Structure 1
Amino acid sequence: MIFTLVIGLTLALVLGMLAQKLKLSPLVGYLVAGMLAAQPWWGEPVDAHIVEDFSHIGVVLLLFGVGLQFHIKDLLAVQKVAVPGALVCMLTVSLLGMLAFHFLGMGDVAWVNSLMFGLCVCVSSTVVLTRVLGDNRVLQTPTGHTALGWLVVEDMFTIILLVLLPAVFGGQELGPALGMMAVKLTLLVVVVALFGRKVIKQVLTYISRYCSDELFTLAVLVCALGIAVLSATVFNASMEFGAFLSGMVVGQSKFASRAASDALPMRDAFAVLFFVSVGMGFHIGGLLEHWPLALATLAICMLAKPIMAAIMVSLLGKPMRLSLMVGGSLSQIGEFSFILATLIAGTYKLLPMEAVNVITGVAIVSITLNAALYRFVPLAVHKLEDRGIGTQHAHADSIPAAADDVYRILLVGYGPCGELVSQVLRRHDMEVVVLEMNVDTVARLHKEGLPAIHGDASNRTILRLAGVEKAKAIIISSAAAPAMPIASAARSLNPDIRVVAHTNYIRIAQAIAQSGDAHAFAGEAEVALAMTSHMLRSLGATEEQVMRECGENRRRLMGENA
């Protein structure tokens, strides 16, 4: 057993690091590690059953983590787009997957088996999507919020499937089985939500006050596994649903943050073994044998699903850029596809293991290509917007040219920083034109009678609509905005414009400051200087000493242009 765990985890570590170095998801490394661990190279055979047993714990903790981080407010914030968009998209992808498996699958198969295959490929990976959005710094943007809300719908859909599978395919008559399942699930939810919440709260409160940290971690683990086992043995529900439910209960308590910090590392370790076990069951020969189905499934995941998602987001009133960015982020499948496929094939025998093999191969390819595809989407959008495609919504809101006696300033971003800057400048009779990527914020500004343009400020068409040729300055208030491309685009249309930028990093601020009439504020430097000033004042330094010290350090950090 130890040999098996060492080989599996070591390969996962090395290949996960390599994948991350190549800017791929570590999941690719874990799956390839499983493929290598299954080879007869190690002198002693690697026991796939041991890895599979540990992977079951990983699945339970994976669903516990989903419940722990499940926030309905993420869905409510974008419900008008995420709910109908995700449901229609999942239905379409499921139907396409069903047709592909029925006509290109493993011989003459029943439609119910084909439907199971379609359901397995209609959900995207939360792990991959959040990583891609985070790497591209759009997680906290309208694109990120919409994509996360979309994933919440897909997660809920997966949980419902995990609940229904035992009732529908448990070997009993469908009507009575569904009725009994509804009763048992209601009891389970009541027991966990009411009785369980009080017990869990009291236990965790006592342990956090009087016991060691490792006992708190153990208590969280017992909650996750205990409720999962309870749901399976007493209420005949899936362990995955019980784990999700226990995660939701703990996640709504005051111990949510501590439980996440303690339990999620355990989840990650066991989840790695789950992905390794999936990789161990993958055989490239079987994938090549069923290459028509594999290619069709890959096309469904990487072409049909993102295109359908982009169409739905666009039809629901969102701009082209957001539609394409959300669609691009969903062009992959991952952990939930594995969970559903292994459960459907292993427990209910509704899919052959060759189908799981195809899903695994498609997942490896789609996860590998997803990061590259997502980096291509903004470039494609930029090219389209340069040609006036996708900016039609902004033309109606174009800003008239500024009079000679008007001091016009373009303000990129209208978060807390941008809003404060806007209020101060307007009080001093300056005309502020906001350029904002959040279409809801732009609509709110229009209702308030304030000039605003929706679009990417690095796009020349958008800058012209905002009247950049007559503007005196452009203030980039959002650190998430691409400051260098925006400054370059603005100067290409108005060489005399002054650039003031907010960035996260000193190196970017230095580059902007050296590019002409510009000044940049780096979060790294400003926080360091503010903390230094606070400490000097608290120690009795004079204002002159504080200003001198900050000035010297600012020049040291930012250069002589600071």
Structure 2
Amino acid sequence: MATGQNLILDLTIVLGAAALGGYLANRLRQPVLLGYLVSGLVVGPFGFKLLSEITQIKSLAEIGVAFLLFALGVEFSLAELKRVKDIALRGSLLQIGLTIVLVAFVTVIMGWASGLSQGIFLGAVLSLSSTAVVLKTLIEKSEINTLHGQIMLAILIAQDLALGLILAILPALKQPENIGWSLGIAILKVLVFVAVAIALSRWIVPRLIASVAATESNELFLLAVISLCLGVALVTAGLGLSLAMGAFVAGLMISEIDHADQALSKVLPLRDTFASLFFASIGMLIDPGILLENLGLIIGLVTLVMLGKAAIVLPIVLSFGYSLKTAVIVSFGINQIGEFSFVLALTGLRLELISQQTYLLLLGTTAITLVLTPTWLNIAPSLGDSFTRMPLLANFWRRFSTPKTLSMPEKISGHVVVAGYGRVGQVIVKILQSQGYQVLVIENSEAAVQRLRFHKIPYIFGDADSELVLEKAHLETAKALAIALPDPASTRLLLKRALAIAPGLDVIARSHSDSEIDLLTQMGAKEVVQPEFEAALEVGNHLLKSLGAPESHIQAVINAIRKDRYLSIRPEKE
């Protein structure tokens, strides 16, 4: 009974500290993730020692990882994955392989590893990045559906899938002659599991979820979803594969059924609660004493790891035809050591592949790289822009901005350029074509380009904010430019570069927030449209009509609101 009460008390302390830490981080304009990590350090065994059931807390924290990956699986779009499938498979394997080879080589040559087996193990630990931290940061920045967000998540998911193989061959590092056999068994396990998962997702899971949903009981539906998530995760863990892999596959199982959105809405509160517990548990692992005693070494390791991984990832992303800016954001977004590296490090300690001192150094280094990840992601876009403006490197970087595919007339003029072919862009194109205007679309999504090919719409495949792409679009002879990009930073950069090429061009831009309306207008956009306000205006239009207001009066009200750039209806700043 006392143990149960202690666990409840510990959970209250951890969640309360996480809430306070997250609040303070938010008020200081820092990622809430940083607050969770610091709160774990404060209440943990190396802080004020307020917890007595740390093992149970860490076990519960694993549920947070499971829910994070389950929610990602539900939201994950296989259609969107197709545009980055090459880099997800070949690119991630290349990244993992190069990291292992380079780390093994350097550590053995420098004498940091006692032998090749230990060097390979350290390379495996450093090769993994943090799906949980990057996912959380992308969610907070609303960048899940950006190109760099999709590439990062694709590589990270591939790394999680590779974790099972790495765990399977670790025991063989004590006996290198068995690596081939262990790898074969691990691949067989993955193939069997995926085959069973596909069968269940087609014939069993949809019917099961539909039957539970038919009861119209929120409790039963939530229990069924949780059971599916944790059940599949436990199966993969039992097979020696990663728990995260199972949770992600469980999410994929229901991602295409009618009840996917309902399942996601039920899991999100649990995901956020347990995710904060997970990040706090990482903070508990940080030993300030070890950090202070080896501060110089750890700073060197953190610098070496983060710059080294970025240096490996950058050319890989560039080699797949993506722009320098995208490559920089991706390389500095996944250059940390992942949370699953904790699992590998613990396994290596048990197998005596590393010493206790090395294990503690890995924990400290990993924790610091996780803390720095949101900062790297924040500065990466401006860093990429700075690289492209370097005079000595301008010509070299320029060739990486070359549009990968062109499908447009040799001579084009009097056309309207539409940047982005998502839901908004598609509607714009349909309206323009229905009125007989010639359209040229700029898009970097393979799935979207396939639709453009099918409908025989002229397009350029590349980043719309790339100077070389814009030169190919012949903006100097275009009638107008409509910007419908999902990324605010790309929208601003595109607007700036487009007006530099064609100063008199009519630009209509989509705003993502209230503050952007004035900014984009000052930058030179002729019209700035805020989708939420426009939806509200349309609802107001229909409402006033139903109340009997004259059509002329309604249009005058709406036109006045648009003319003053929504100032009269913008929410008051706090």
Task: Report the Cα offset of residue 79 of structure 1.
Answer: 1.8
Tell me the equivalent position of 1:412. Answer: 419
Task: Report the Cα offset of residue 37 of structure 1.
Answer: 1.2
Residue 282 of structure 1 pairs with residue 290 of structure 2:
no
Q: What code does the residue aligned with 2:381 have?
A: P
Tell me the equivalent position of 1:213. Answer: 218
**2:56 maps to which of 47, 50, 59:** 50
Distance 2:446 2:91 in 1: 18
Tell me the equivalent position of 1:476. Answer: 483
Distance 1:443 1:203 in 2: 35
Q: What code does the residue aligned with 1:280 have?
A: M
Distance 1:391 1:13 in 2: 46
Contact 1:394–1:455 (CA<8 Å) still a contact in 2?
no
Tell me the equivalent position of 1:31. Answer: 37
- The within-5 A match list for 1:287-302 is 287-290=291-294, 294-295=298-299, 297-302=301-306
Per the alignment, do residues 88 and 320 of structure 1 end up closer, same or farther by CA in structure 2, a change over 3 Å counting?
same
Distance 1:365 1:218 in 2: 36
Contact 2:419–2:425 (CA<8 Å) still a contact in 1?
yes
Residue 149 of structure 1 pairs with residue 157 of structure 2:
no
Per the alignment, do residues 355 and 147 of structure 1 end up closer, same or farther by CA in structure 2, a change over 3 Å counting?
same
**2:328 maps to which of 306, 318, 324:** 324
Q: Deviations over 1:263-283 (max 9, x none)?
A: 343344334333333322321
Per the alignment, do residues 351 and 71 of structure 1 end up closer, same or farther by CA in structure 2, a change over 3 Å counting?
farther
Task: Report the Cα offset of residue 36 of structure 1.
Answer: 1.3
Tell me the equivalent position of 2:532. Answer: 524
Per the alignment, do residues 547 and 158 of structure 1 end up closer, same or farther by CA in structure 2, a change over 3 Å counting?
same
Q: Please, which moves more after superposition, 28-37 or 159-168?
A: 159-168
**2:378 maps to which of 369, 375, 378:** 375
Distance 2:74 2:214 in 1: 22
Contact 1:25–1:368 (CA<8 Å) still a contact in 2?
no
Residue 337 of structure 1 pairs with residue 341 of structure 2:
yes
Q: Any idea what SS the aligned residue of 2:372 has?
A: helix
Contact 1:505–1:523 (CA<8 Å) still a contact in 2?
no
Task: Report the Cα offset of residue 507 of structure 1.
Answer: 4.0
Per the alignment, do residues 411 and 534 of structure 1 end up closer, same or farther by CA in structure 2, a change over 3 Å counting?
same
Q: Please, what is the CA RMSD of the aligned residues?
A: 4.6
- The within-5 A match list for 1:546-557 is 546-555=554-563
Q: Please, which moves more after superposition, 362-371 or 411-420?
A: 411-420
Distance 2:435 2:28 in 1: 50
Tell me the equivalent position of 2:572. Answer: none
Q: Any idea what SS the aligned residue of 1:263 has?
A: helix
Q: Any idea what SS the aligned residue of 1:282 has?
A: coil
Tell me the equivalent position of 2:571. Answer: none
Task: Report the Cα offset of residue 361 of structure 1.
Answer: 2.5
Tell me the equivalent position of 1:13. Answer: 19
Contact 1:166–1:237 (CA<8 Å) still a contact in 2?
no
Distance 2:439 2:198 in 1: 50
Q: Number of matched residues?
A: 554
Q: Deviations over 1:507-536 (max 9, x none)?
A: 433444466782222212211111222344
Distance 2:193 2:168 in 1: 12
Q: Please, which moves more after superposition, 292-301 or 32-41?
A: 292-301
Tell me the equivalent position of 2:3. Answer: none
Q: Deviations over 1:196-231 (max 9, x none)?
A: 986665654444333632233233333444455566
**2:398 maps to which of 391, 408, 413:** 391
Distance 1:42 1:147 in 2: 37
Q: Deviations over 1:295-347 (max 9, x none)?
A: 4542453212222222112223333333223222222233222343345446x
Q: Deviations over 1:124-156 (max 9, x none)?
A: 222332344455554323323322222221121
Contact 1:83–1:153 (CA<8 Å) still a contact in 2?
yes
Tell me the equivalent position of 2:123. Answer: 118
Distance 2:447 2:196 in 1: 41
Q: What code does the residue aligned with 2:336 have?
A: Q
Tell me the equivalent position of 1:504. Answer: 512
Contact 2:418–2:482 (CA<8 Å) still a contact in 1?
yes
Distance 2:475 2:299 in 1: 48
Distance 2:499 2:183 in 1: 66
Distance 1:304 1:40 in 2: 30
Per the alignment, do residues 23 and 283 of structure 1 end up closer, same or farther by CA in structure 2, a change over 3 Å counting?
same
* Identical residues among aligned pairs (%): 26
Consecutive unaligned residues in structure 1, runs of 5 or more:
none
Contact 2:161–2:245 (CA<8 Å) still a contact in 1?
no
Task: Report the Cα offset of residue 89 of structure 1.
Answer: 0.8
Per the alignment, do residues 258 and 476 of structure 1 end up closer, same or farther by CA in structure 2, a change over 3 Å counting?
closer
Per the alignment, do residues 114 and 70 of structure 1 end up closer, same or farther by CA in structure 2, a change over 3 Å counting?
farther
Q: Any idea what SS the aligned residue of 1:475 has?
A: strand
Per the alignment, do residues 355 and 276 of structure 1 end up closer, same or farther by CA in structure 2, a change over 3 Å counting?
farther
Task: Report the Cα offset of residue 158 of structure 1.
Answer: 1.9
Contact 2:68–2:132 (CA<8 Å) still a contact in 1?
no
Q: Any idea what SS the aligned residue of 1:121 has?
A: helix
Q: What code does the residue aligned with 1:474 have?
A: L
Provide TM-score, normalisation by structure 2. Answer: 0.77
Contact 1:402–1:471 (CA<8 Å) still a contact in 2?
no
Tell me the equivalent position of 2:87. Answer: 81
Distance 2:76 2:482 in 1: 36
Q: Larger radius of gyration, structure 1 or 2?
A: 1
Tell me the equivalent position of 1:365. Answer: 368
Per the alignment, do residues 279 and 480 of structure 1 end up closer, same or farther by CA in structure 2, a change over 3 Å counting?
closer
Q: What code does the residue aligned with 1:216 have?
A: F
Q: Please, which moves more after superposition, 421-430 or 151-160?
A: 421-430
Per the alignment, do residues 456 and 542 of structure 1 end up closer, same or farther by CA in structure 2, a change over 3 Å counting?
same
Q: Deviations over 1:384-423 (max 9, x none)?
A: 44454333454998999999xx645544334454455456
Task: Report the Cα offset of residue 159 of structure 1.
Answer: 3.5
Contact 1:4–1:50 (CA<8 Å) still a contact in 2?
no
Distance 2:472 2:234 in 1: 60
Q: Deviations over 1:362-384 (max 9, x none)?
A: 23332333333333333343344
Q: Any idea what SS the aligned residue of 1:357 has?
A: helix
Distance 1:471 1:232 in 2: 57
Distance 1:43 1:297 in 2: 28
Distance 2:557 2:450 in 1: 44
Q: What code does the residue aligned with 1:125 have?
A: S
Q: Any idea what SS the aligned residue of 1:474 has?
A: strand
Distance 1:370 1:255 in 2: 34
Task: Report the Cα offset of residue 157 of structure 1.
Answer: 1.0
Distance 1:176 1:411 in 2: 54
Distance 1:462 1:179 in 2: 45
Q: Please, which moves more after superposition, 80-89 or 529-538?
A: 529-538
Distance 1:143 1:344 in 2: 33
Q: What code does the residue aligned with 1:283 have?
A: D
Q: Deviations over 1:461-483 (max 9, x none)?
A: 66556444555543324353555
Contact 1:469–1:494 (CA<8 Å) still a contact in 2?
yes
Q: Please, which moves more after superposition, 132-141 or 26-35?
A: 132-141
